[in-house]
A and B are shown apart, each in its own frame.
Chain A
Amino acid sequence: MIYDLQYSRFNDCSVLIEWPAVIDDVMLKSILNFKMVIENSYVKQNIEVITTYNSILVIYEVTIEDVNSELLKLKALNIQQNNYEIKEAPVWEIPVCYSGEFGMDLESYSKTINMSKPEIIKRHSETIYTVFFIGFLPGFLYLGGLDPQLFLDRKTHPNLNVKKGSVAIGGNQTGIYPQNSPGGWHIIGNSPIELFDSNQNPPCLINAGDRVKFVPVETLEYLDILNAVRTFQYQLKSSNTYA
């Protein structure tokens, strides 16, 4: 698929490349592939490439002297990358406990959307989500694929302290809070895993383009996993690769 891309200067030392403003799995592959092509054609220490749903931002370490020649260079790289191969991506299994205090908003959420708790858990954990990018907080995964039956607008009054690991729904999105943070999403569960570890480089195991699946666990299993995570004995499972 060929997309109509817009190239523009973003600031002294960065260029923004925009795809059409849609959330789409196939387009994501094109974005991530272009990212790889860009990274491979520059010295990695000298550029940084951020991707989102429909954008690439190329940040150079130094000021761009001649922006037109830089834009032409990027456009030429895009032409080279038209025949990319679709790589396999891991499906990460993220344990989530939906019971009791872990899903502090599950009761009210269930009433508001008029769906039973077991049905919510079933629908939430049946989907295989796509990781579109990481943003908002270190290690926060922007996931696509939430069941439309589970959509619910954010709360009018955000929680000032959403606990680390909270699994929540806001609008048409679901996500996991990688650290304690204010937040306005409905909290339906909690995951004991670490999504971000600043002592590791890279600090995230999960990357844009990967897939994610929530696996319901009961309180005892949650506590076992939490203990294993804290003693560095837990390894996040990834099931079969997914083309």
Chain B
Amino acid sequence: MLKVLKSGFYTSIQDRGRFGQRTYGVPVSGAMDSYSSQFANTILGNSSDDAVLEITMTGPTLHFLEPTVISVSGAVMHPKLNGNPIKMNISIAIKANDILSFGRLNSGFRAYIAVKNGFLSTSVLGSRSMYKPITTTNRIIDNEILEYNKNLGHPQGPNAHVKYNTEIIEGDVLEMYKGPEFRRLSEESQKQLLETSVKVSKLNNRMAYQLEPILENNLKPILTGPVLPGTIQLTPSGQLIVLMRNCQTTGGYPRVLQLTEKAINSLSQKTTGNTLKFRLKES
């Protein structure tokens, strides 16, 4: 197990999410950037279902009480072990009483810490992903104890076959499909939607990212229909809302665009003020 000395800005346990529960209105949740979280798991030889810690903007300080092996992927936040810088995207041996901390956020917005065989919080409806009220809390807090299996395994050397793709962090083009209501927009609005650079507004979290600018439109609300992470809704007042991992399962705003999985991962690494371009993917 480990003790959380400082929780950081917003740190939560996430896995691949709750598959099969959306028919009961349960959001899928799961790691915002599935590429980076799975990369951290892969390095340790973990299963893709193993739970990781998702850290946001500022990292936590963690006191490991038992040996294990860890890896850190995603946003660059200068991880340190007992005060000494450690590399990201490799496996690192942890001894009892080691302390993991983070420095300044350099690029990206969310990083992932994997431990050998995953974190062992209670699984609810097939997932450990924190989402209140399905789980009792939304995120970890100071002094909380997090469980993992003690592991004396040795870290593996760098694997030439797995190289972290930094485009997830650095890329500023989001690939997307046309949404079900895209064709209801006037030709002019379609063009405007696809050609305007958009900016992440300060309203961005695990549920949704709001984008600027306002896009005037005359779309009518739809009969409430299914939505997924990556669905871009256009409200009557012209707000572009990108639904993210904790989004509701259904919605009544027109669904004008739909991000690819890769684009959701990329957007998860963006924060307030970052600018992005849209690019249609041939479906």
Interface residues of A (CB under 8 A from B): 8-14, 16, 18, 21-23, 44-45, 48-55, 57, 59, 61, 63, 67, 133-140, 142, 178-179, 196, 198-199, 201-204, 208
Contact in complex: A203, B223 (CB < 8 Å): no
Contact status A11-B261, CB under 8 Å: yes
Question: In the complex the two chains form, what is the Cα distance from A48 to B222 in whole Å?
Answer: 23
- Give the distance in Å from the alpha carbon of A142 to the alpha carbon of B250 in the complex: 11
Give Cα distance in the complex from A122 to B169, angstroms. Answer: 58
Q: Among B21-29, B75-83, B267-275, which stretch is in contact with chain A?
A: B21-29
Q: Which of B162-199 contact A (CB under 8 A)?
A: 177, 180
Do the beta carbons of A11 and B260 come within 8 Å of each other?
A: yes
Given contacts A136-B25, A136-B250, A204-B24, A198 and B124 within 8 Å (CB-CB) = yes
A35 vs chain B, min Cβ distance (A)? 9
Docked pose: A52 CA to B251 CA in angstroms: 10
Closest residue on chain A to residue B21 by CB atoms: A203
A135's partner among B20, B126, B248 (CB-CB below 8 A) is B248
With an 8 A cutoff between CB atoms, is B280 at the interface?
Answer: no
With A135-B25, A136-B250 already in contact, the answer to whether A10 and B180 are too (CB < 8 A) is yes
A69 to chain B, nearest CB (A): 14
List, in ascending order, chain B residues with CB within 8 A of A11's CB: 177, 228, 230, 258-261
Question: Can you list, as one digit per residue, whether each of B213-255 has a CB less than 8 Å from chain A (1) or not (0)?
Answer: 0000000001111101010000000000000000011100000
Chain A residues with CB below 8 A from B23, complex form? 48-51, 133-134, 208
Is B283 touching A57 in the complex (CB atoms < 8 A)?
A: no
Contacts of A48 in B (CB 8 A): 19-20, 22-23
Complex CA–CA separation, A102 to B273 (angstroms): 44
Other 4 A-B pairs with CB < 8 A, given A135-B224, A136-B250: A50-B22, A178-B25, A179-B133, A198-B125
B248 touches A16 (CB 8 A): no
CA distance A82 to B226 in the complex (A): 24
Q: Is the CB of B223 within 8 A of A23?
A: yes
Contacts known (A135-B248, A136-B250); A21 close to B24, Cβ less than 8 A: no
A198 and B224 form a contact (CB under 8 A): no
Chain B at the A interface: SS class: loop
How far in angstroms is the closest Cβ of chain B from A198? 5
Q: Which residue of A lies closest to B175 (CB)?
A: A12
Looking at the assembled complex, report how far the CB atom of A112 sits from the nearest CB atom of chain B, in whole angstroms.
Answer: 23
Chain A residues within an 8 Å CB radius of B22: 48, 50, 59
Which B residue's beta carbon lies closest to that of A16? Answer: B180
* Residue of B whose beta carbon sits closest to that of A14: B228
Residues of B near A50 (CB, < 8 A) are 22-23, 226, 249-250
In the complex, whether B152 has a CB less than 8 A from a CB of chain A is no
- In this complex, what residue of A is CB-closest to B26? A138
Q: Distance in Å from the Cβ of A176 to the closest Cβ of chain B? A: 12
Of A10, A52, A199, A203, the residue contacting B250 (CB under 8 A) is A52
Q: For A57, what are the chain B residues with a Cβ–Cβ distance below 8 Å?
A: 226, 228
Given A57-B228, A134-B25, A136-B250, is A198 in contact with B134 using a C-beta cutoff of 8 Å? Answer: yes
User: With a CB–CB cut-off of 8 A, which chain B residues contact A63?
Assistant: 261
Distance between Cα atoms of A202 and B226 in the complex (Å): 20
Residues of B within 8 A of A178 (CB): 25
B27: nearest residue on chain A (CB-CB)? A138
Residues of B within 8 A of A138 (CB): 24-27, 133-134
A70 to B226, CA, bound (A): 19
A204 to B21, CA, bound (A): 10
Contact call B224/A53, Cβ cutoff below 8 A: yes
- Nearest A residue to B258 by beta-carbon distance? A11
Quote the shortest CB–CB distance from B97 to chain A (angstroms). 36
Residues on B with beta carbons closer than 8 Å to the beta carbon of A199: 124
Q: Which one of B24, B26, B228 contacts A10 once the chains associate, using CB atoms below 8 Å? A: B228
9 CB-based A-B contacts, threshold 8 Å: A9-B177, A11-B260, A50-B249, A135-B250, A142-B224, A179-B133, A198-B134, A201-B125, A203-B21
